[in-house]
Amino acid sequence: MPDVDVASDLKRADALRELGRAVDAIEILGRVVASEPANHQALCQLAQCHNATKDYPTMLRAANRAIAANPHSEWAHRLRSLALHNMRRHPEAIAAAKRSIELAPNAWRPHMILADAALVGTKPSDKKTAYEAALRALQIAPHAADAHVTMGRVLLNIGELRHARRYFAHALALDPSNAAALTNLAVTDLRGGKVVAAGRGFGAVAAANPTEDMYARNVGASAFVWMQSALDAGVVIVVTSLVVAMVVPPLTGALVTLALLVAYVTVGTIAYRRLPTPMRRLALRGRSPMVTRVNVGVTAGVLAFGLWIAATEAFGSPPATYIAPLLLWSLALLWRLRIRLEPRLHQTRQRRRYRAEVFGVGGQPSIVTPRRPLD
């Protein structure tokens, strides 16, 4: 067996993992574990590396071995909980996180892990567990940006957008480049209807982490939402034009329809040009060719139909001409309204459902202010 300088190897592996070279670190740790199979730290680091490579079953195996080597290790139980959480074995993840807390009740990370694991549950009691764990983590470590992010995520999940935003802002005050905080802040914006702000936030994260495809997808999602809003506005204009065509004299109706179309195109173009560059590209092209075709097709349809209304109006078609299209377009409008309102209604329902259980009747989320580590 070759003589392995274990302490140096562990440091080296940790440095490599931090540099995003988890595969290299795994190689070194494999050597250490072969030399010292019961080295608890090496096994925990190995689990960390497998987490970085998203190989969760292997991460779980490494965490289990670390627990076998040192059953009283908070770190090992925490890593086990994280692996189980990522493998969608949530009840086991919660149990492992609770064991980790038992072993180190005054450490903040086990509480954070428990909050993450419990947040997946749909019962109000799960949300309450998540909230309390996140609050405990924050009370222990008000200087940790990740603890603020976790609390923000819990609040976002139960529909408390305003408070969630505050916690993400806290996290960013502590760590301005925290990708999780930036992303979740953008998600909060998106849920609050601030599509462009959300796209800008997602774009900033994607620029800093261009190899993470998830961040790029987020920009695509915000661009898609923006494009859908533009198309919905087109549907509203068509329905308005049809109503106008039925109630005002033909020439006036034609002029009003044309004016609405011009306004739609002008405002749409200006809004489009003001979008952040990546969002602008993705709004038109989308991340899939199919989305592009649908978007372009619907826009062209809206404009063509508007022009048809204006043209037929100008020729003095009777109001009855527009009844059938009006019904169809009104149905389309209602369908779109339902799609747009459903998430908000769901959010309101969630908020009502969880609020009393989590914060108590008439209660509000606690606000833990961030603190610098050296305070």
Partner 1 sequence: MGNSPLIASLMAAVEAAPDDLPLRVHLAELLLRDDRRAEAIGHLAQALARDPGHAEAQALMAQAIARRDATPPSAVEPPDATGPQTATDTDTEATQASQASQATEPPPAASPPTAGDQPQARESGVPMASAPEPRRPPDDVDWRAFEDEFTGIVPPRFAPAADEPEPVSGDGDRMFDVETSSIFLTDVHGMDDVKRRLEVAFLAPLRNPTLRSLYAKSLRGGLMLYGPPGCGKTFIARAVAGEMGAKFISLSIVDVLNMYVGNSEQNLHQIFDSARRNAPCVLFLDEIDALGHKRSAVNSSTMRTLGNQLLAELDGMDGDNDGVFVLAATNAPWDVDPALRRPGRFDRVILVLPPDRAARGPIVEYHLRDRPVANIDVRRIVAATEDFSGADLAHLCDSAAEHAMHDSIATGEVRMIEQRDFDRALREVRPSTGPWLASARNVAMFANESGAYDDLAAYLKKRKLA
Nearer to partner 1, 11 or 338 (CB): 11
| Distances 37 to 32, 34, 42, 65, 245 between C-alpha atoms, Å | 8, 6, 9, 9, 81
Q: What are phi and psi of 286, to 5 degrees?
A: 70, 175
Nearer to partner 1, 79 or 206 (CB): 206
SS3 63: helix
- What character string, x for contact with partner 1 (CB under 8 A) and - otherwise, covers 64-83? --------------------
Structural contact between residues 116 and 96, judged by C-beta atoms closer than 8 angstroms:
no
Q: Which residue in the set 12, 61, 336, 351 belongs to the binding site for partner 1 (CB under 8 A)?
A: 12
CB of 45 to partner 1, least distance (A): 13
Overall size of the chain counted in residues: 375
- What DSSP designation does 370 have? P
CB of 203 to partner 1, least distance (A): 6
Nearer to partner 1, 204 or 298 (CB): 204
Nearer to partner 1, 19 or 311 (CB): 19
Residues in contact with 12: Cβ distance below 8 Å, sequence separation at least 6, in sequence order:
25, 28
Q: Which residue in the set 61, 281, 353, 371 belongs to the binding site for partner 1 (CB under 8 A)?
A: 281
Task: Check binding of 288 to partner 1 (CB under 8 A).
Answer: no
Q: Token pair for residue 346?
A: 């769901």
Nearer to partner 1, 15 or 334 (CB): 15
Q: Token pair for residue 363?
A: 């209660």
Nearer to partner 1, 142 or 278 (CB): 278
CB of 59 to partner 1, least distance (A): 20
Angstrom distance (rounded) from CA 8 to CA 135: 37
| Distances 140 to 27, 38, 103, 113, 156 between C-alpha atoms, Å | 35, 31, 15, 14, 21
Stretch in the footprint of partner 1 (CB under 8 A) among 4-12, 71-79, 257-265, 302-310:
4-12
Stretch in the footprint of partner 1 (CB under 8 A) among 56-64, 97-105, 213-221, 266-274:
213-221
SS3 155: helix
Q: How far apart are the first and last CA of the chain?
A: 49
Angstrom distance (rounded) from CA 163 to CA 161: 6
Q: Which residue in the set 190, 206, 256, 258 belongs to the binding site for partner 1 (CB under 8 A)?
A: 206
Q: Which residue in the set 23, 38, 208, 267 belongs to the binding site for partner 1 (CB under 8 A)?
A: 208
Nearer to partner 1, 155 or 279 (CB): 279
Angstrom distance (rounded) from CA 125 to CA 295: 42
CB of 138 to partner 1, least distance (A): 20
Angstrom distance (rounded) from CA 195 to CA 188: 10
Task: Check binding of 277 to partner 1 (CB under 8 A).
Answer: yes
- What character string, x for contact with partner 1 (CB under 8 A) and - otherwise, covers 168-187? ---------x----------
Task: Check binding of 213 to partner 1 (CB under 8 A).
Answer: yes
Nearer to partner 1, 42 or 67 (CB): 42
Task: Check binding of 123 to partner 1 (CB under 8 A).
Answer: no
Kindly determine how many residues on this chain lie close enough to bind partner 1 according to the rule CB under 8 A. Answer: 26
Task: Check binding of 203 to partner 1 (CB under 8 A).
Answer: yes
CB of 144 to partner 1, least distance (A): 12
Buried b (16+ CB within 10 A) or exposed e, 123-146: ebebbbbbbbbbbbbbebbbbbbb
Structural contact between residues 85 and 113, judged by C-beta atoms closer than 8 angstroms:
yes
Nearer to partner 1, 68 or 207 (CB): 207
Nearer to partner 1, 204 or 358 (CB): 204
Nearest to 241 by CA among 333, 366, 356, 170: 333
Task: Check binding of 23 to partner 1 (CB under 8 A).
Answer: no
Query: Count of H helices and E strands in the chain?
Result: 17, 0
Residues within the interface to partner 1 (CB under 8 A): 8, 11-12, 14-16, 18-21, 24, 177, 203, 206-208, 210-211, 213, 215-216, 219, 277-278, 281-282
